[in-house]
Structure 1
Amino acid sequence: MTDPLLPELLALALEAARRAGALLRDGRPADLGVAATKSSPIDVVTEMDIAAEKLITGFLAEHRPDDGVLGEEGSATEGSSGIRWVIDPLDGTVNYLYGLPTWAVSIAAERDGETVVGVVEAPMRRETYRAVLGGGAFANDVPLRCRPAPPLDEALVSTGFNYVATVRTHQADVARRLIPRLRDIRRGGSAAIDLSDVAAGRLDGYYERGLSPWDFAAGDLIAREAGASTGGRPGQAPSGELTIAASPGVFEPLQALLEDFGAWHD
């Protein structure tokens, strides 16, 4: 890393994610309940989502008060430095609510609109995924590389489903049509971890419709820095319309099928 700002941003993201991950892991109440809902009654926020975002934003503001922030639980400031932090304090909230281990803290730093640092902290896995633009991707300091691409019918692909029932119904139909073309499909419940698993070679691909920037900002960079291809619809970047990450030889045929099946619309 020749840019002196990037190590600073990475160190802050790692420390903020570590602190939030420890809070979530060690501070989870036995009687944890739903604090609010978002898009539907099953799209939930817990008191711990809110507490983790407050911890992260407070830590970043202490060290870089002029930066902007975009957080899932409502934090939003413009900033004046050209740096914006994109934060999901608890990706996989429903898993966390039920005591399932697949959840993570996701923190990305953008400079002038381009993601330059990404950190995904997965406390129950004891893994921290990180990447800096142009500097590769790592998990606990071990370099990551996506899997060599198998034929599509031997690819293990993960996805996620929306919390709005009508949208989820169409997504289930897309998955039904995909399953015969793949080795199998997984549904983990955390976009940040799915993208990191593509980077780590634990999945051949991942796709999902309906993500927000905080869901994929860090994981997308980690996947790309591990050699994966990422995007949305043909010729487009990942977005709420469609996000895809896969080994390069899997990406193109998977993207083509998703386009044909209408995975980008409800």
Structure 2
Amino acid sequence: MVITSKDNSKIKQLAKLYSNRKYRRETGLFVIEGIRGCVDALADSTLNGGNMEIEGIYYLEELFEGVCSGYKPELELLPEDKRFIITREIADKISDTDACQGIFVTAKMLDKLFSEDTLKRGGKYLILDELQDPGNLGTMIRTSDAVGLDGIVLTGNCVDLYNPKTVRSAVGSMPRVDIFVERDFERVVEAFKLKGIPTAAAVIDGGTEIRQYDFSKGCAVVIGNEGRGLTYDHAEMCSNKVTIAMHGHIDSLNAATAATIFLWEMTRAEG
């Protein structure tokens, strides 16, 4: 189907999903933008044996005759009523990027219901409390995919998992990482405790130095807000505290950088 009008009902829904967090939750759908993320979604679609349930794809016609031509078989697995050719004008209207690539996918949300039963005994997890930067979250998801993490839990008033900037930063990794959204931090920590998985609060100082901490029996590392870190109360709820020792005049790291160091240390201890 070819859509040329910005007033088309499908385009209005796509634009609203892109910009409105509440509407995304109401519909259970989110938007992926960009060639890399969208072709990964096609490759990971349920029709191709993956986890991504695609509701629709909207794209410039020339993309699948050129740069995306290698993914034409995956595109054609989707029913025709889920494939929409759009104009450059429509693509630019929807996107908030400076260089829109002209391709969007709408898909069903991927986060899972959190409970003790969903946790893997001896598993390795990240708990992100009050994280606010969508780019940081996307980077953490992508890095978690790269190291084979067992899951990520978003607690408190975290940035929206389906913020377009988060989705772009994750670059196709979201369907390959178990992600849970549970606002109640205390409930999350208690569930890990019941599962026998220690929680380790990432703190600037006063904790066990990261290279001395034993991650081998499973762990959930807790990383707080970019500006203020974990609150005292939340750090005290955790089983342990862990610190990344730093030199020179540096006293803290970007949250995504700190998470990457923790992810490396956590997963290299396996086996």
TM bracket, shorter-chain basis: under 0.3
Bigger relative contact order, structure 1 or 2 (CA pairs below 8 A, ≥6 apart): 2
Q: Which has the larger radius of gyration?
A: 2
TM-score w.r.t. structure 1 length?
A: 0.27
